[in-house]
Amino acid sequence: MSVVAQAAVLVIFPVTAAAVGSVVAVLRRPGPRTVSGIQHFAAGVVMAALVGEVLPELRQEGRLPWAVAGFVAGVGVVLSLGAYERRRDALPGTPAEGPTPPGPRMPGSTKRSAARSAALPVGLLITVGIDLVLDGLLVGLGVTLGSTQGLILTIALTIEILFLGLSVTAELTESGQPAARAALISSGLGLLTAVGAIGGAAVLGGAGRPVLAAVLAFGAAALLYLAVEELLVEAHEETETPLLVAMFFLGFLAIYVLAELAA
C-alpha cells in the first residue's frame, strides 16, 4: 500500500473523532472532571508520541540546520495562531467572562464564549481550519516514517481532535448558531485533516532528507505546544487530584507499550 493510501486510511479516525466530538457537544457535554482527566491522558499520549517517535527520527536524520529551521518555523506558526486567537478574544463585543467550552484550548478555540449572534465566527473557523490541516500534516508525516509511527501519531491526534470538535461546536452554539448547524460545520472542518494528511503524505513521500528533517522538527514544535501549552493548561483549570495527574502518565505508558508491541 502506498504512503498516500495509508494516510487516507489512518486519517479516517481523526475525521470521525471530529464528528463524534461535535455530536457529543450537542447531545451531552462531559463534565469538567471528565474533560480534565481525558485532557491529561491526551497530553501524555501526545508527549509519548513526541519523545518516542518524532524526536528519535529527527536525530537519525542528522540535519541540524534544517531541524533548527523547521523547529523555529513551527514555533512561529503556533505562536502566531495563539496571538491571533488572543486578539480575536479582545475585539469589542466579546464578553470578558463566560463559560469555557469543553476540550483543549487549541489555536482555533477560545476560553471565553463569543458574543451571542447569528453571524458565523469566520475568524474562529479559519484558525480551526489551519490547525486541522497541520494536524493532518502530522498524520501524513507519521506515515512517511513508518506504519508504527503513523499509527501512534494518529492515535495522539485523534484524541486531540475529538476534544477540538467538542470545543468548536460548543463555541458555535454559544455564538448563536443552531445546534445541528454547529455540529455540521464542526464535522465538516474535520475533513481538512484529511486534506493535510493526504497532501502531506503525497509531498513528503518523495522528499529528501533535509526537507524531512525540517518537517519533523516543525511537527515536534507543534506537538510540544499542543501538549504543554494547550492540553495541560486547560486540564489544570480543574482542581488537581492524584487520579487526574495519573491520567497523564497512563496516556504516556499506553503509547510506550503500544510502540513496543508494534516494534
| Average confidence (pLDDT) over 94-112 | 40
Higher pLDDT, 136 or 86: 136
Each domain of the chain, given as residue ranges in start order, spans 3-262
Residue by residue, DSSP assigns the chain as: --HHHHHHHHTHHHHHHHHHHHHHHHH-PPPHHHHHHHHHHHHHHHHHHIIIIIHHHHHHH--HHHHHHHHHHHHHHHHHHHHHHHHHHTSTTS-SS-PPPSS---TT--SSPPPP-SS--HHHHHHHHHHHHHHHHHHHHHHHH-HHHHHHHHHHHHHHHHHHHHHHHHHHHHTT--HHHHHHHHHHHHHHHHHHHHHHHHHHTT--HHHHHHHHHHHHHHHHHIIIIIIHHHHTTSPP-HHHHHHHHHHHHHHHHHHHHH-
Q: What is the pLDDT of residues 59-99, one digit of tens each?
A: 887 788 999 999 999 999 889 888 877 776 676 655 433 33
pLDDT at 245: 92
245-255 tens-digit pLDDT: 999 999 999 98
**Quick one: pLDDT band at residue 150, thresholds 50, 70, 90?**
confident
Q: Is the pLDDT of residue 229 over 90?
A: no
* Tens digit of each residue's pLDDT (9 = 90 or more) over 11-70: 999 999 999 999 998 888 778 888 888 889 989 988 998 888 888 888 887 788 999 999
Whether the Cβ atoms of residue 111 and residue 100 lie closer than 8 Å to each other: yes
| Predicted pLDDT at 112 | 39
Contact between 256 and 56 under an 8 Å Cβ cutoff? The reply is no
Higher pLDDT, 150 or 184: 184
pLDDT value at position 203?
A: 86
Residue 188, judged by CB atoms within 10 A of its CB (0-12, 13-18, 19+), counts as middle
Q: What angle do CA 60, 71, 36 make, to 5 degrees?
A: 100
CA 161 to chain centre: 5
- Does 106 score more than 70 pLDDT? no
From CA 32, how far away is CA 179, in angstroms rounded?
21
Confidence of residue 115 (pLDDT cuts 50, 70, 90): very low
* CB 112, CB 127: distance < 8 Å: no
Please choose, from the candidates 226, 256, 239, the residue with its C-alpha nearest in 3D space to the C-alpha of residue 81.
Answer: 226
| Identity of the residue numbered 102 | P
Is the confidence at residue 147, as pLDDT, over 80?
Answer: no
Lowest mean pLDDT among 98-102, 114-118, 161-165: 98-102
The answer, yes or no, to whether residue 137 has pLDDT greater than 50, is yes
Confidence of residue 119 (pLDDT cuts 50, 70, 90): low
Whether residue 190 contacts residue 17, with contact meaning beta carbons closer than 8 Å, is answered with yes
Q: What is the pLDDT of residue 193?
A: 93
In sequence order, the 6+-apart residues with CB closer than 8 A to the CB of 34 are none
Evaluate whether 46 touches 226 at the Cβ level (below 8 Å): yes
Q: Which tens digits make up the pLDDT trace of 176-221?
A: 888 899 899 999 999 999 999 999 888 887 778 888 889 889 988 9
Q: Cα separations (Å) of 100 from 52, 67, 90? A: 32, 36, 16
